[in-house]
Amino acid sequence: MLIYGFVKGGDSMAMPEVLQVSCVQLHWAKTLERNLAQTLSYIRQAAEAGSRVVCFPEATLTSYYFPYVITLPRERVREALGEVQRAAAEANIWVIVGTIQATADRLLNLAHVINPQGRITHEYAKVHMAGADERKYCRPGNKISFFEIDSVPCTLVICRDGRHPELYRIPAMAGAKILFQPSCSSDSLEAVHWKRVSGRAQQPAGPNSSIYHCVANTVGQSPDGEQTSSGQSYIRDPTGLPLAEAGYYEEGIITAILKLSHATGSYARDSFEHPAFLRPYWEQMITEMRRRADETPE
């Protein structure tokens, strides 16, 4: 049995040959009202450009600036998310958007996948916390992301998660063709400079998985002037080569057409096959990933 072969549901349509995707680069430390307005505008722009999917950065709506995030009522965050859902339906486009929300046990850093009918079809909570504030206020999620966009199997990670390749290579073994990575690579100026030089901010997934990689990152300084963000959002093909890239400092949108047959997942699938003694463990992990895929982080 080909455990990593993706099996579509009985009512799924055929996978398209190509998928046009946009990634948006936004400031990471602005207010919810400003973030929401920008998000709605870029949804319209992506749809007008012919994209089927638009991916926004980590914590798109709430910002990633925790002195502000912790003051936001959960009800207002949910209201803003509802406005994004309505905009997705009006534009007839898939939207991946982020929030940080309160739960009974600390905060969760969430990515929401919204379909062209405006329904949230998948949610993922960041697994690996990054900055000191995030580690203080947030707790990690407990699943690997695996979902469909127009019958195209996909996965996503949030920012620091991308440094843990098992989080996207296991989905690639199961047939995922696209990795979406909402990110906020904020840090001190010196740290951000070294992230740019070394390529540490978002490490391309294609060279060790052979799937597409779409990163929506942030730009700008924090209100206290202590931190900045690295920019450089990108869309890369399964070899790791760039199809579209953003700059260091500017907000904006990038777009690319993904030829889905190029995303073979071959490197991840080779790891599934050899060494042979690991196959039962990969099978077990893939089964558990699928079992948890539709769970709502709470």
Name the DSSP class of 262.
Answer: G
- Identify the residue whose tokens are 């740290």: 191
DSSP string of 137-197, one letter each residue:
HB--------EEETTEEEEE--GGGGG-THHHHHHHHTT--EEEEE---EE-HHHHHHHHH
Segment-wise mean pLDDT, segments of 10 residues, the chain, 298 residues: 37 84 98 98 98 98 97 97 98 98 96 98 97 96 98 97 97 98 92 78 90 98 94 97 96 98 98 97 98 95
Q: Is domain 18-292 annotated with CATH 3.40.1190.20?
A: no
Q: Residue 11's pLDDT is what?
A: 41
The pTM (predicted TM-score) of the whole model is 0.94
Q: Residue 12's pLDDT is what?
A: 52
